A and B are shown apart, each in its own frame.
Chain A
Amino acid sequence: MLRLENLQARYGDIQVLWGVSLEVKEGSVVALLGSNGAGKTTTLKTAMGMMEALTGRVIFRDEDITRKPTHEIVNSGLFLVPEWRGTFATLSVLENLELGAFPARARPFKDATLQHVFEIFPRLHERQAQKAGTLSGGERQMVAIGRALMAKPDLLILDEPSLGLAPLIVENTFRLIKQLSEEEGLTVLVVEQNVNLALDIADYAYILENGSIVGEGNSADLLSDKRIQEAYLGI
């Protein structure tokens, strides 16, 4: 469904991506793993058209979206929940969710999807009139994912969903991702530093180091790989 081909990108004079290639198949959950500064977020930014690719291509549903503006990429069904969550603090919970349905593809289904999101997150229904800036970290996470669902994405990308959250909330988030994938057939690309968590829900994973993919494989194989265990799992 999504294919990155030999992506290279840089910030100013510093090149961060040195040819990243990966593939996310329809209906699968794929993890992109790597330590801080490996280039995970840059990879996502480049895929979403927020950073220019020096070389390489981003193919989504057989279409080259490499040079497309971000909003068009979103409207074609690719949605990123950024590392910084991306909730609008000055807008109410309801307004945040409604904005999720801003893309033309999602707008006709707004009311039905909103009901669905409220079923998944009853807490958001209670707090719908509240400004998102007054919510707890876990609730903001709910708004961020709820807003992503409002956009009716074909592929949901989550950048570090565990970042800064209490263990229980992280666990719930990952369970929800698994559930969305299994029950609703949502394709997911999850970017994580927490390798254990990510491999637990992912079918397939890539390992990014210094801007290059250095390893890939089925989650089960990676979990039993000695090299991976030493480098990332602290075993």
Chain B
Amino acid sequence: MEINTILQTLMFGILIGALYGLAALGLSLVFGVLKILNVAHGELLMIGGYTSFLAFDRLGVDPYASLLIVLPVLFIIGIAMHLGLFSRIVRFDEEDRIKNSLLIGFGLTLILQQLATRAFTADERSITTNYSTTSWEFMDLRFPLVRFSGLFIGIVVVIALQWFLHKTYWGKAIRATAEDWRTAALAGIDIRKMYLFTFALGASLAGLAGMLVTLQGSVSPNIGLMWTLKALIVVVLAGLGNMPGTFLAGILLGLAESGSALAFGGEYRELVGIVIFLIVLSFRPQGLFGDSHV
């Protein structure tokens, strides 16, 4: 095999991995703070994809500019979803929260997929702009613009999240709530507000990933499950409570998948993620970058 093919494949692995990482950020944040596992996270990503598709298709809005629509729309959907469904279970103990959130999440998954099929049909939709195929060549390697934008946006988002969580009052309050909500309440923090905001922020992050997925590939009603799975693998790989670690773990998963495609052929790509998931879960259950106490 040519060295160029290998490099190019691995590079695409990193770029798809950036999307895995972005998809996982919101899931990790919500899981870490609210202790609920929202398996409909992939559906939020799908809704984000359709929102940017509609903005582009109907209104002619540039996909990157459509983030000004996608992020607030998903934020509001997140608020509605939390107030209507998940806020009822965050009063429970942590174990019961996870079990109940799984039930709610799977139900939501089915409903949202059906609604999306009704609204947009099962066809794959994509966003094709005049820069969709733009790419740079360097040393016989191809650097496609829209794919690199995912990596770039991911890095910017991680830095912004890190700043927010560590430098602002709300961020610190959210981290305190994640560690121990009882003590956080005793410190005067309105934990219900923190839960609501964190969930909505997680939904916005899913929407952002959805825009990039649609721009780099396509969106269809059933992509949610695959993205929830990828995000879940990344969260297990990274461990909770570490945003840069989560993003990095996404890239590692992308690299591992493309590496395995090179070594064993493309058929085993999906298996690699599951195998890594099991290995990490057995030998390092707190994840590669997680705090061991979580």
Q: Is B232 part of the contact surface with A, judged by Cβ < 8 Å? A: no
Q: Is B241 part of the contact surface with A, judged by Cβ < 8 Å? A: yes
Contact bitstring B250-294, A, C-beta under 8 A = 1, else 0: 000000000000000000000000000000000000000001010
Contact residues on B (Cβ < 8 Å of other chain), bracket: 20 to 34
Stretch at the interface among A2-10, A66-74, A193-201: A66-74
Give the distance to chain A from B92, nearest Cβ to Cβ, in Å: 14
Stretch at the interface among A87-95, A181-189, A216-224, A225-233: A87-95
> Shortest 8 CB-CB distances between A and B: which pairs?
A74-B188, A103-B188, A86-B183, A70-B185, A71-B190, A102-B188, A88-B176, A88-B179
Q: A residues bordering B, Cβ < 8 Å?
A: 48, 50, 69-71, 74-75, 79-80, 82, 84, 86-91, 95, 98-100, 102-103, 106-107, 133, 147, 151
The B interface, classified by DSSP as helix, strand, loop or mixed, is helix
Most buried by A among B179, B183, B187, B293: B187
Q: Is A88 in contact with B183, judged by CB distance below 8 angstroms? A: yes
Q: Is B36 part of the contact surface with A, judged by Cβ < 8 Å? A: no
Q: Is A91 in contact with B188, judged by CB distance below 8 angstroms? A: no
How far is it, in angstroms, between the C-alpha of A106 and the C-alpha of B191 when the chains are bound?
A: 18
Q: Is B179 in contact with A86, judged by CB distance below 8 angstroms? A: no
Q: How many A-B residue pairs have CB under 8 A?
A: 71
Which residues does chain A contribute within 8 Å of B185, judged by CB atoms? 50, 69-71, 74
Contact of A89 among B182, B189, B293 (CB under 8 A): B293
Q: Is B186 in contact with A90, judged by CB distance below 8 angstroms? A: no
How far is it, in angstroms, between the C-alpha of A84 and the C-alpha of B291 when the chains are bound?
A: 20
List B48-106 residues whose CB lies under 8 Å from chain A.
none
A sample of 6 inter-chain contacts (CB < 8 A) reads A50-B182, A69-B190, A71-B188, A74-B185, A95-B175, A99-B173
Contact bitstring B168-180, A, C-beta under 8 A = 1, else 0: 0100110110011
Give the distance to chain B from A192, nearest Cβ to Cβ, in Å: 19
How far is it, in angstroms, between the C-alpha of A69 and the C-alpha of B182 when the chains are bound?
A: 12
Which residues does chain A contribute within 8 Å of B173, judged by CB atoms? 99, 102
How far is it, in angstroms, between the C-alpha of A133 and the C-alpha of B180 when the chains are bound?
A: 13
List the A residue with the shortest CB-CB distance to B185: A70
**A71-B185, A82-B186, A102-B189 given as contacts; is B175 within 8 A of A88 (CB)?**
yes
Give the distance to chain B from A88, nearest Cβ to Cβ, in Å: 5
How far is it, in angstroms, between the C-alpha of A91 and the C-alpha of B182 when the chains are bound?
A: 16
Which residues does chain B contribute within 8 Å of A99, judged by CB atoms? 172-173, 176, 187, 189
Q: Is A70 in contact with B186, judged by CB distance below 8 angstroms? A: yes
